[in-house]
Chain A
């Protein structure tokens, strides 16, 4: 079972359709307690970092409890940024902090927001990116981006180099929209579904 957390940051239809194409019907937990049965948790999101404040202490506790049980966590776009400690977009809202580091606004050397297809420079083996060659392009739409930390498995350049894919044992994040990144994106969603089903 994979949960798709709806905290009001944007529409989830596309994410749901993308996962359906990857072979998984996601459920939407109404309460943090509904995460008790989740093998995987997807945190999507578009828009302002302050929207993640809706993921309050109870949700955070439930997500941490799920990670303690061995569940996998997948942040998409704003969801990736929320995996970090925080973002300059809203200093008053803390991220989940499962990855050390912060998110910063892309420098205005080029057009910001960064909208469109850009390449993934894959730097080390990744389970989320299994079967995806380095140089594959994905669809981005964002103004803030994460620090490059040891968890970064792919980097992308737009005015600055930033972490476009992060991965640890149980935590995964992508700055782009895999559900809008054609066949390569659907492959990544399938990889995450497979990782969740291996929880046992």
Chain B
């Protein structure tokens, strides 16, 4: 167990139920191409993976450092557009992917450093407002530069040969599945997300991560002890942006498409906020639990809303409220309610139960 403990950076789930849940999620996601070979379920599984990384990187900011950013989708989008634009202009290939990723990382780090140095000096509340303004401007910019970004339509591009759907190295199916580029892309995502997630877990459990939590709890005291809170907050911001960029790059590889709606839109930002809150702020595992619950709900609950809408058709106000287009309304209500009544999220609840059981026995 010590090896596993070290891999998890001495931050075990601390709840039997949570541990079981995580193991199930891990195994199911690892074997997803065999278990659910359908197109929709595979895209849902890929989306879960990307969101785990994206939300975990946001949790570094919100849950661990205690600052609210509304520009996280901007960095997510930079990563996705980096891959998309490079692959479209240079042609498919690993060179294009590498170059696009490098360019995206440079842009993201530079931009997040600038925003952080500018707005984290003064007040945390400034940061929220300024990131909102910058993200809105960036979104407009992306749709304006349509020669470059494809505008509102986005870009469709091809992956390197290994990851393209036409790539089928084996003649015969392996365990009942004909392995193709799609499956390899999925496993690339899986490995990358697992490694990066463990890296994030390592970061938040390092001495550096402890300083971030100290700043979250009381920035005045942290400063008094001798930590330059501005520097720590800025580094946290840059790290979060970096991981979000990587998540965006993975999304682009799995979709072979980038567009404003899938990366930059405010809806994605709301999704991230909701997942962080549902999963549990300040717990990296919350990102996993939240992303799984949320993406599954989003993929299959919308169908349920459609069923509900047909059931109440004809009832004047109710049919408008339950329409699948009003999905965001129920998301918002859920968000407000969970911030009030459920502030520690699923992981926090499971952990406090485990603690209560331990105290009782």
> Are A and B part of the same complex?
no
